[in-house]
Amino acid sequence: MHHNNVSYPVEVPLILGHEFSGIIAKTGSRVEKFKTGDRVTAETHAEYCGKCLLCRTNDYRLCRDRKGYGFGVDGAYAEYVKVPERILHRVPDNVSLEEAALTEPLCVAYNVVVEKMKVKPGDVAVVIGPGPIGILACKMLELSGASEIIVIGTGGDEKRLEMAGKYGATMIINSDNTDPVPIVLEKNEGYGADVVVDAAGPAATLKLSLELVRPSGIINKVAWGPEPVDFSLDKLISKAVTLQGSFSHTWDIWEKCLKLMEEGQVNLADLITHRLSLEDWEKGFELVESREGIKVVLKPNIGK
């Protein structure tokens, strides 16, 4: 979004920022369930029609009229952001606002592992790409009872791979010096992993996913990759693999994730590697792009 080279239109010029939390400064006249002073976080779906087939079947995230913060409408890199009541969520008293600002990527991971893949206790899982979504997918896999959680990264991912270990990964592979294929293909009687999460995105990782997944297994592709796929998809057929796309989250997932945070089943604070004032937003992007940072929290009030 920062470089405006994502696979969907960014309505430039606009204010970035779609993962946030805050304290309600003012409510509109028709707001009933929230009041000034409430600690809240919000879904990213700033606008949707509420009337179409998808909106009426709890799939409003995919409504053709959906507009998200930071790419469809002005986002949260600001002192104030305007949020409709229907997408607000209360932050539990024992959860910090910093952690609450990271609810969104946890919801993405919940959607992948629980809603889409329906991971079972005992499953052998692979996560490709140890970014925030990959790391949180490891945590959701652990909570779902997966017995083996193998995370794969490349050179430069060292810090992120280490973090994935803290978040439930049982085996860490740097593919620059270790080929993951023979390791994963030892699992399940030589058939491979039950489920594979592609949290990296390029064509090469989808190709790798098809190698690693067992016949009748599931691949969930949650990471974007704008370039065309450059290999045969025949393995999808010969292995009868289910290939899923995964996008965003819904109100019920947000409530579950906030419950996980309230009960201490997920600790998001460890993911925050840097805290910067909003003025230093560009440095935050540099930290993440260099993979030096994992999650950077921007605070509009620092330095005032």
Per CB under 5 A, residues contacting Zn ion are: 19, 48-49, 52, 55, 63, 104
Q: Which residue is nearest to Zn ion (CB)?
A: 63
Classify the C-alpha dihedral 84-85-91-96 as positive or negative: positive
- Residues 128 and 149 sit within 8 Å (Cβ to Cβ): no
Q: Quick check: 112 and 144 in contact, CB under 8 A?
A: no
Question: What are the strands, taking DSSP E only, across the chain?
Answer: 21-23, 39-42, 45-47, 67-68, 88-90, 124-128, 148-153, 171-174, 193-198, 213-221, 242-245, 272-277, 295-299
Selection from 295, 304, 248 nearest residue 268 by Cα: 295
* Cβ 3 to Zn ion shortest distance, Å: 16
Min dist. Cβ of residue 48 to Zn ion (A): 5
Q: How far is the CB of 101 from Zn ion (least distance, A)?
A: 10
Which amino acid, 272?
I
**Three-state SS at 225:** coil
Nearer to Zn ion by Cβ, of 22 and 180: the residue is 22
For Zn ion, the closer CB: 54 or 204: 54
Q: Is omega for the bond preceding 13 within 30 degrees of 0, making it cis? A: yes
Q: Which is nearer to Zn ion, 89 or 239 (CB)?
A: 89
Nearer to Zn ion, 109 or 184 (CB): 109
Q: Which is nearer to Zn ion, 104 or 194 (CB)?
A: 104
Shortest gap between Cβ of 211 and Zn ion (angstroms)? 28
Name the minimum Å distance from CB 115 to Zn ion: 16
Query: What does DSSP say about strands 21-23 and 39-42: parallel, antiparallel, or unpaired?
Result: antiparallel
Pairing of strands 272-277, 295-299: parallel
Find the shortest distance in angstroms from Cβ 56 to Zn ion.
8
Q: How far is the CB of 169 from Zn ion (least distance, A)?
A: 21
> What is the per-residue DSSP string for 158-215?
HHHHHHHHHTT-SEEEETTTS-HHHHHTTSGGGT-EEEEEE-S-SHHHHHHHHHHEEE
Contact 61, 247 (CB under 8 A): yes
Q: Residue 23: is it exposed, middle or buried by C-beta count within 10 angstroms (0-12/13-18/19+)?
A: exposed
- 3-class secondary-structure state, position 67: strand
CB of 70 to Zn ion, least distance (A): 9
Question: Which of 80, 224 has the CB closer to Zn ion?
Answer: 224
Closer CB to Zn ion, 144 or 248, in the complex: 248
State which residue, 17 or 192, has the beta carbon closest to Zn ion: 17
